[in-house]
Amino acid sequence: MSNASLDAIAAKSDQPFPGAPNNWRRFFSFSTDHKVIGIQYMVTAFVFFLIGGLLAMVMRGELITPEADLVDRTVYNALFTMHGTIMLFMWTFPMLNGLSNYLVPLMIGARDMAFPRLNAAAFWLVPVFGTLLMASFFVPGGPSQSGWWAYPPVSLQNPTGNLINGQVLWLLAVALSGVSSIMGAVNFVTTIFRMRAPGMGWFRMPAFCWTVLSAQMIQLFGLPSLTAGAVMLLLDLTAGTSFFDPAKGGDPVLYQHFFWFYSHPAVYVIILPIFGTFSEVFPVYARKPLFGYRFVVVSSVIITVLSAMVWVHHMFASGTPSWMRMLFMFSTMLISVPTGVKVFAWVATVWGGKLRLDTPMLFALGGLVCFLFAGITGVMLGAVPFDIHVNNTYFVVGHFHYVIYGATVMGIYAAIYHWFPKMTGHMYYEGLGKLHFALTFIGVNLNFFPMHPLGLMGMPRRVSSYDPEFAYWNVIASLGGFLLGVSTLPFILNIVSSWVLGKRAPANPWNAIGLEWLIPSPPPVENFEEIPIVVSGPYGYGSNESLVSNNPAGELISEHS
Amino acid sequence: MTTPTTPKKPRSLSFRTVAQLVALAIADAAVSLWVGRQAYLWMPPQASAEAVLVDDLFGFLTTIGSFIFLGVTTALLYSVLFQRADKYDISDGPPVEGNLLVEILWTTIPLGLVIWIATYSYQIYDQMAILGPMEHMNHVPQLGLMPSAEAATLPAVPERTPIEVHVRQWAWEFHYPDQNIVSTELHLPVNERARLKLISEDVLHGFYVPAFRVKQDVIPGSTIDFGFMPIREGRYRLRDSDYSGTYFAANQGVVVVESEESYQQWLADAAAQPLTEADNRAFREFTKLGDRPISAGWKTVEPAPPPRVNFASSEEDSYE
Ligand code: HEM
Ligand SMILES: [Cu+2]
């Protein structure tokens, strides 16, 4: 990218624009600074995480006894529908978008995202569709009760007869979330392609940016399918069409194809940036280069491609002919190869290093162990005969919670602690961080391990009551669930108090390598006084090379060694 | 504070290291084989020929899974315990960036493993001869190919008309066309391939008997042929596995597997019974007043009235 166009971008994204506040208030106002937007995303997402978590704890309260005795069955069904929807569309996606928004421009040496205004618009859609979704608690008939898949015909049943009902609001919110994600994806892909600092060739780009690129590519090809499915369902629900309504000759299984063609790849939109986080965190706290860097980044791209070819594994028990079952069994299992490459690379990175067990490292290690477990149960689920038994049981719920809470949420925490000093200019409290880790790790395993035996025994998911033989493991799971609720308290305490009172953070508190660590904490508006010229790869631990040849923001070059 | 800049040549492995690694791998394998055997205990009783096959597959998957999980976590744990930096040591570790041989190995080994697992799963699937919605019963005279001992030694399959399974929000109902019997309990003769026609009258439901390890979505608008082979007498739980709305959790039933004689006896007894109203939990809950949990008073799809059947079992009846 030429300097002239960089200057043009810099001029356009002049920030804060005239009259914009330059203190904490700017986080609540319209900003086009990717760092402000990143933090806006993350804070908004966290609020929804807490809401979704409270719903989950009511569910676990219901499931602590076999009978449906805490909440009405309709309420229970609304709870799990909203819990799943909030956690995916209002927490993980916005959270990871926020993180990527904050980090990608810094890591590739750019002054902002390619389209700052589009970036802001994509973010502001999040509170809009979030409000829409939450409003469904207050319409007659309550929120959608058809699960986060919204499979027809259940999702087409509308006992209130109202045109405005929970399901309609749900569909609108999901469609809007798709619009926001597409806007974000276009921005990320363009930014990574066009705005890398001079000298940052593809194989000098940090692994995190590779994973963001791969994840956002998935959004581009997958989302249209989800949106199409949602719009067709909306038409069936409100305009009397019959794409999916079997009573009128529609095909409910067609919806499942639309839905999973996106929603399987979507799990990689979630996990890829976490893979990226692991790849950034392990080298820093093991003080070694990322082992097999090229294998690691190329495997992200392979995952992106393969992710488009496995969706039918969610439908092994629906109307799926045998040849399809076998084909998708094989493609599903194939994904574990590039994934396994990454896992082994992280282990090799940690192995023989000089480990520092700071909070980010603890969360990354804990997340890796959970992911390993989930990957193994994932391959089991890919085996059709076994999946036929446990499909739609708690075994699946256990599998994906190990990924989504165990690996993803823990990975998010690793990232937050690791980059917290950079983002806020303050250090967090290590003791509280370690407490947070201990509670989370124990809580995850207590809550989600029992789901595997429950599934093997045959407990279906989404039930508000169950047979007494399932009581034992459910009690343990519920206690784990409450513990997870408690585990967020030290985190909130830590973040709030250290943001306000914490020790000032130096530019590079972890002695890490990376463009973001060469500039002050927090980074100034426009990030780099002078665009860095990159002269070496991203993980030169132990090799005494400098990362850049010039001297951005007047800091010492490559302070780490 | 600075580490050596000249990358060291990777040492070739000493005999001692190799011996240690082999010993560790053997220990890991031994533990994993043991865990794989335990896996059978985590499952419900093996009440069908399919269950035997699925459990073998699960035992195999558990063994391999344990081997990998134990191996990797042990390596991590060892690092965490013994490879920590001293408190004030901020120097870097060895600048090992990769090793082509290792990287190729750990790409090809998982690939081989995956092919192995997929092939084995395929063989199991083939033996199960599961009937999905796209295949028809008549296509399976290859029944004799079923290698499970039970199947191979069976007398010729008597030609029976498939039992119709009707499911709706929220009740299971079984119709025996030959005898014209309606029941809320599914009776099947042991050691004979069960033949069902699955019919949903409203939304998606799932036919799921954990003790049989079989499951099939019941899709409104199509009649689905389904078959499996019960091999153990007893009473088993039938569950709705595909979320079907408000009273989904209450949509359960009982499957009875019994000897040919008692099966015939049951058919005869049931045929002599007049139609009566069955017990139905969804309907009971819907109409019941009185102590209710926290309720928002949201409207719900009304449960269908309890089925009228020749033979009814209570939903509180026992099962294994
Ligand atoms: C080695 C990698 C993985 C494999 C082989 C795998 C395999 C599977 C399979 C076969 C299912 C369908 C099970 C069923 O419905 O019966 C499934 C479900 C699921 N997986 Fe994974 N998975 C893997 C990794 C992941 C990752 C990385 C995520 C998320 C970040 C994830 C999230 C989920 C979710 C959310 C579901 C359940 C969706 C639902 O039914 O609501 N999985 N997985
Ligand atoms: Cu999937």
**Which among A58, A299, A323, A337 is the top mutation candidate for probing chain B, defined by the most B β-carbons within 10 Å of its own β-carbon?**
A337
Strands B185-189 and B252-258: parallel
Contacts of B57 in chain A (CB under 8 A): 383, 385-386
Q: Give one DSSP letter per residue of chain B, joined into a string.
A: -PPPSSPPPPPPPPHHHHHHHHHHHHHHHHHHHHHHHHGGGGSPP--BHHHHHHHHHHHHHHHHHHHHHHHHHHHHHHHHHH-BPPTT-----------HHHHHHHHHHHHHHHHHHHHHHHHHHHHHT---TTS-GGG-GGGGG--SHHHHTPPPPP--PPEEEEEETTEEEEEETTTTEEESEEEEETTS-EEEEEEESSS-EEEEEGGGTEEEEE-TTS-EEEEE-B-S-EEEEEEE-S--STTGGG-EEEEEEE-HHHHHHHHHHHHHSPPEEPP-HHHHHHH--S---B------PPPPPPPEESB---TT----
Distance CA A223, CA A263 (A): 9
Tens digits of per-residue pLDDT, B165-189? Answer: 999 999 999 999 988 999 999 999 9
Task: Give the per-residue pLDDT at A23.
Answer: 64
Angle of helix A359-382 versus helix A252-286 axis, rounded to 10: 140
Strands B252-258 and B171-176: unpaired
Q: Which two tokens stand for residue A447?
A: 């809550």
A542 vs B94, B220, B252: nearest CB: B94
The pTM assigned to this predicted structure is 0.91
Distance CA A317, CA A305 (A): 25
pLDDT bin (cut points 50, 70, 90) of residue A21 is low
CA A311 to ligand 2 center in whole angstroms: 6
- 320 residues of chain B, pLDDT tens digit each: 344 444 444 556 678 888 988 999 999 999 999 999 999 999 999 999 999 999 999 999 999 999 999 999 999 999 999 988 887 777 887 888 888 888 888 889 999 999 999 999 998 988 886 654 434 333 333 333 333 333 434 445 556 889 999 999 999 999 999 889 999 999 999 999 999 999 999 999 999 999 999 999 999 988 998 989 999 999 999 999 999 999 999 999 999 999 999 999 999 999 999 999 988 889 988 887 555 677 888 888 989 998 888 888 876 678 88
Asked whether the beta carbons of residue B245 and residue A157 sit closer than 8 angstroms, the reply is: yes
Distance CA A466, CA B125 (A): 30
Tens digits of per-residue pLDDT, A163-189? Answer: 899 999 999 999 999 999 999 999 999
What b/e string do you get for B126-144 counting C-beta neighbours within 10 Å, with b at 16 or more? bbbbbbbbebeeeebeeee
Distance CA B229, CA B248 (A): 27
Task: Give the per-residue pLDDT at B290.
Answer: 52
A312 lines ligand 1 (CB under 6 A): no
Tens digits of per-residue pLDDT, A453-467? Answer: 999 999 999 999 999
Residue B71 in contact with partner chain A when CB distance is under 8 A: no
A112 DSSP 8-state letter: S
- In this prediction, residues A279-285 reach a mean pLDDT of 96
Residue A445 in contact with partner chain B when CB distance is under 8 A: no
Ligand 1 pocket test, pick from A87, A325, A376, A399 with the greatest ligand atom count within 8 Å of Cβ, gives A399
A313 DSSP 8-state letter: G
CA A399 to ligand 1 center in whole angstroms: 7
A313 lines ligand 1 (CB under 6 A): yes
Task: Give the per-residue pLDDT at B130.
Answer: 62
B293 vs A70, A253, A389: nearest CB: A70
Contacts of A159 in chain B (CB under 8 A): 299-302
B299 vs A141, A288, A357: nearest CB: A141
Tens digits of per-residue pLDDT, A422-447? Answer: 999 999 999 999 999 999 999 999 99
A326 vs B61, B72, B122: nearest CB: B122
Give yes or no for a contact between A230 and A320, defined as CB atoms under 8 angstroms apart: no
Q: Which two tokens stand for residue A116?
A: 């700052």
Helix (H, G, I), strand (E, B) or coil at A393: strand
Q: Chain B neighbours among A 82-101 (CB < 8 Å)?
A: none
- A524 CB burial (10 A radius; 0-12, 13-18, 19+): exposed
A402 DSSP 8-state letter: I
ipTM beyond cut 0.85: yes
A45 DSSP 8-state letter: H
Lookup result for tokens 């976590």: B73
Distance CA B116, CA B84 (A): 38
Distance CA A356, CA A538 (A): 20
A332 lines ligand 1 (CB under 6 A): yes
Asked whether the beta carbons of residue B57 and residue A466 sit closer than 8 angstroms, the reply is: no
Q: Which residue of B has its CA nearest to A161?
A: B299
Q: Which two tokens stand for residue A473?
A: 């493991």
CA B46 to ligand 1 center in whole angstroms: 27
